[in-house]
Amino acid sequence: MEENIIKFEDMQLSKKVLNAVKDMGFEEPSPIQAKTIPLALEGHDVIGQAQTGTGKTAAFGIPTIEQIDEKNKYIQALVLTPTRELAIQIAEEFNKIGKYKKVKTLPVYGGQMIDRQIRALRFGVKIVVGTPGRLIDHIRRNTIKLDHVKTLILDEADEMLDMGFIEDIEEIMSNLAQKEDRQTLLFSATMPAPIEKLARKYMNDPKKVMISREQITVPSVDQLYFETRDKFEGLCRVLDIEDSGKYIIFCRTKKNVDDLQASLQVRGYMVGSLHGDMSQAQRDRVMRRFREGKLEILIATDVAARGIDIDDISHVINFDIPQDPESYVHRIGRTGRAGRTGIAVTFIEPKEYRQLKSIERMTKSRMIRGELPTPADVIERQREAIKERLLKTLNNNTYADYHMIISDIANEGYDYVDIAAAALQLSIEGVKEKDDKPLDERFENTGGAPGMVRLFLNIGRKQGIRPQDIVRSFASEVDIPGSIIGVINIYDKFTFVEVPKDIAEKVISVMHRNTIKGYKLNIEPAKGKEDNKK
Ligand code: AMP
């Protein structure tokens, strides 16, 4: 794969498109792009066998937008796609690619007010992405003009077939120029017979493009994956629960690398990053610090990580799922070297599950589904880590200089356990200011039912919070049965939740500054009626 790298710069692309692609953070074409874009730019019809996640949208988007004539005010390209979500996603990606060329793409799908679409269609749209049903609607109403369409794209053709859209597609095609007078690009994950037939009938000597499926061998590394809607939170928990190690985290784009580095730095991790734009001196400096252990985490794109040669990487983390099986194998091959055991962790959002399965299939390997540690696990792990460090210090017996201070304080009547706990807090958190009242005193009068503590949360109806969100997140994060949670009152901007007294402290320590539905939580004992009067 690495031998014949093709760059975007080597393709016949205008500055405007090239710069837009750079802004999107794409450093080099994905395999499907490397094969499709040159063919499409030469004017060939192309059949691409590729799934979501391989970069197929840009594979047909880049050449299509490159070939749009900005001065021609008509719709020049039409993309047919099975679902509205996909139509929106494709239009978003096209609008990014076309931003300097000022090529506008409009998504058109069922469920949205047709009048609004009709109005939008009048405003100089050059590309339309639509679901077949809604497009037919527009064609029949004569609210869309397709006689200047030079490029037709069928995306996820097999899905459209499964959804019964074939006749609609044929009707739409009959409204377009003859196959000889237009370019047709067809993308499909599989090639069932009806799609082959469609291609034969409506495409002009198409070139077939596939991502190779030959077997790729995976090094022996423990492979795990986590499915989560909040990859960043998940990553932090994984980092917090693991013993120290050397981590490489892979992101898809330069921008993702920068964003992740900034977010991790804010949380106090020692992070460095590599991307294609860096000078050799900058790269060397980061690599040296990583090798010497001054950085525990290195974040990189696939391109930037090429040529990294470090033997003792303990974890490879795919923060963004790789676009093809080859790069998965390359990435995880960076750990488990020289006889050491390595761990490869892949984070996916629920919609990426199919892509994960396809990587497993093509690499003939299996990733074990992992359960993300709960914040309670993380706290427990931190306790253990503190204990380990303390025991090590005790065993090393290097603290004689401090004996005097402790015995002085003990002579003043303080308990040894208290002194030890205070010393530990001092070393970990520094001097902490005293809260008005100790926490358990603040549990006394919260207005909760007997035996319960009423807690105040700073989120409510305005944030779309429902009782089940609270129960689900308390139960999974704090690791308690949902049934022990008491009354929940949700107001516009805040919520009261009752929990049993004996777990109230745990709930606060786990949930405070945690998130529910992406909102950061402040949680504290509620003020009871008596307190409010004060
Ligand atoms: P797709 O297969 O079109 O759904 O693309 C999957 C994801 O990969 C999208 O988030 C794209 O923005 C991203 N992507 C596409 N091409 C590249 C590339 N050459 N380099 C990095 N990311 C890419």
Q: In this predicted model, what pLDDT tens digit does every residue of 408-425 receive, in sequence order?
A: 999 998 999 999 999 988
Q: Which residues line ligand 1 (CB under 6 A)?
A: 26, 29-30, 33, 52-58, 252-253, 323
Nearest CA to ligand 1 atom 9: 55
Nearest CA to ligand 1 atom 15: 55
Mean of pLDDT over the chain = 87
CA of 213 to the centre of ligand 1 (A): 19
Mean pLDDT of 94-106: 95
Report the atom number in ligand 1 closest to the C-alpha of 24.
12
For the chain, which residues make up each domain, given as ranges? 2-210, 221-369, 384-429, 439-533
Kind and range of the H or E run holding 369 = strand 368-369
User: Which pLDDT score is estimated for 172?
Assistant: 94
| Paired tokens of 436 | 């008005």
Q: Which residues partner with 520 through β-bridges?
A: 515
User: Which pLDDT score is estimated for 334?
Assistant: 77
Task: Please state, in angstroms and rounded to a whole number, the distance separating the CA atoms of residues 302 and 1.
Answer: 12
Nearest CA to ligand 1 atom 13: 55
Mean pLDDT of 503-518: 85
Q: Has domain 439-533 been given CATH number 3.30.70.330?
A: yes
DSSP state of 505: H
CA of 154 to the centre of ligand 1 (A): 18
Say how many C-beta atoms besides its own lie within 10 A of residue 374's C-beta: 18
CATH of region 2-210, choose from 3.30.70.260, 3.40.50.1010, 3.30.9.10, 3.40.50.300: 3.40.50.300
> What is each CA distance from 424 to 6, 217, 432, in whole angstroms?
56, 49, 12
User: Which pLDDT score is estimated for 186?
Assistant: 97
Whether the domain at 2-210 and the domain at 221-369 fall into the same CATH topology:
yes
Kind and range of the H or E run holding 453 = strand 452-457
Confidence of residue 164 (pLDDT cuts 50, 70, 90): confident
Task: Please state, in angstroms and rounded to a whole number, the distance separating the CA atoms of residues 191 and 159.
Answer: 11
Mean pLDDT of 426-450: 78
What proportion of the chain, given as a percentage, has pLDDT over 70?
93
CA of 6 to the centre of ligand 1 (A): 16
Confidence of residue 104 (pLDDT cuts 50, 70, 90): very high
Confidence of residue 340 (pLDDT cuts 50, 70, 90): low
Does this model's pTM top 0.75? Answer: no
pLDDT at 440 over 80: no
User: Which of 7, 9, 24, 92 most suits a substitution to test ligand 1, by most atoms within 8 Å of the C-beta?
Assistant: 24
pLDDT at 450 over 80: yes
184 φ, ψ to 5°? -120, 130
CA of 258 to the centre of ligand 1 (A): 17
CA of 13 to the centre of ligand 1 (A): 18
pLDDT at 76 over 90: yes
Confidence of residue 1 (pLDDT cuts 50, 70, 90): very low
Confidence of residue 330 (pLDDT cuts 50, 70, 90): confident
Confidence of residue 52 (pLDDT cuts 50, 70, 90): confident
Number of residues that this document lists for the chain: 534
Handedness of CA 236, 238, 243, 247 (dihedral sign): negative
Residue environment code for 250-285, b if the CB has 16+ CB neighbours within 10 A, otherwise e: bbbebebbeebbeebeeeebebbbbbbeeeeeebee
Please write the tens of the pLDDT for every residue from 455-506.
999 999 988 889 988 998 898 888 888 889 999 999 988 999 999 998 998 8
Task: Please state, in angstroms and rounded to a whole number, the distance separating the CA atoms of residues 258 and 23.
Answer: 13
Q: 89 or 438: whose pLDDT is higher?
A: 89
User: Which pLDDT score is estimated for 529?
Assistant: 57
Single-letter residue type at 448: G
CA of 325 to the centre of ligand 1 (A): 14
CA of 58 to the centre of ligand 1 (A): 7
- Helix, strand and coil percent figures for the chain, each rounded to 5: 45, 15, 40
Mean pLDDT of 429-454: 79
Please write the tens of the pLDDT for every residue from 347-365.
999 889 988 998 988 888 8
Q: 220 or 214: whose pLDDT is higher?
A: 220
Nearest residue to 233 (alpha-carbon basis) of 533, 514, 527: 514
Residue environment code for 179-208, b if the CB has 16+ CB neighbours within 10 A, otherwise e: beebbbbbbbbebeeebeebbeebbeebee
Please write the tens of the pLDDT for every residue from 311-327.
778 899 999 999 888 88
Nearest CA to ligand 1 atom 16: 55
Report the atom number in ligand 1 closest to the C-alpha of 57.
3
CA of 163 to the centre of ligand 1 (A): 25
| Paired tokens of 156 | 């996820």
CB 347 within 8 A of CB 238: no
Most confident of 45-54, 92-101, 234-243, 388-397: 92-101
Nearest CA to ligand 1 atom 8: 55
Report the atom number in ligand 1 closest to the C-alpha of 93.
12
Q: 2 or 301: whose pLDDT is higher?
A: 301
CA of 55 to the centre of ligand 1 (A): 4
Mean pLDDT of 40-62: 91
Say how many C-beta atoms besides its own lie within 10 A of residue 239's C-beta: 20
DSSP 3-state assignment of 248?
A: strand
Nearest residue to 224 (alpha-carbon basis) of 57, 345, 362, 125: 345
Mean pLDDT of 147-161: 93
pLDDT at 244 over 80: no
Single-letter residue type at 165: F
pLDDT at 214 over 50: no
pLDDT at 182 over 90: yes
CA of 303 to the centre of ligand 1 (A): 14
Task: Please state, in angstroms and rounded to a whole number, the distance separating the CA atoms of residues 373 and 149.
Answer: 52
User: Which of 252, 259, 275, 318 most suits a substitution to test ligand 1, by most atoms within 8 Å of the C-beta?
Assistant: 252
Fold that domain 221-369 belongs to in CATH:
Rossmann fold (3.40.50)
Nearest CA to ligand 1 atom 18: 26
User: Which pLDDT score is estimated for 534?
Assistant: 36
Q: Which residues partner with 299 through β-bridges?
A: 249, 273
Report the atom number in ligand 1 closest to the C-alpha of 50.
2
CA of 53 to the centre of ligand 1 (A): 6
User: Which pLDDT score is estimated for 27?
Assistant: 83
Report the atom number in ligand 1 closest to the C-alpha of 27.
20
User: Which of 57, 64, 255, 359 most suits a substitution to test ligand 1, by most atoms within 8 Å of the C-beta?
Assistant: 57
pLDDT at 218 over 80: no
Longest dimension (CA), the chain: 98
CA of 44 to the centre of ligand 1 (A): 23
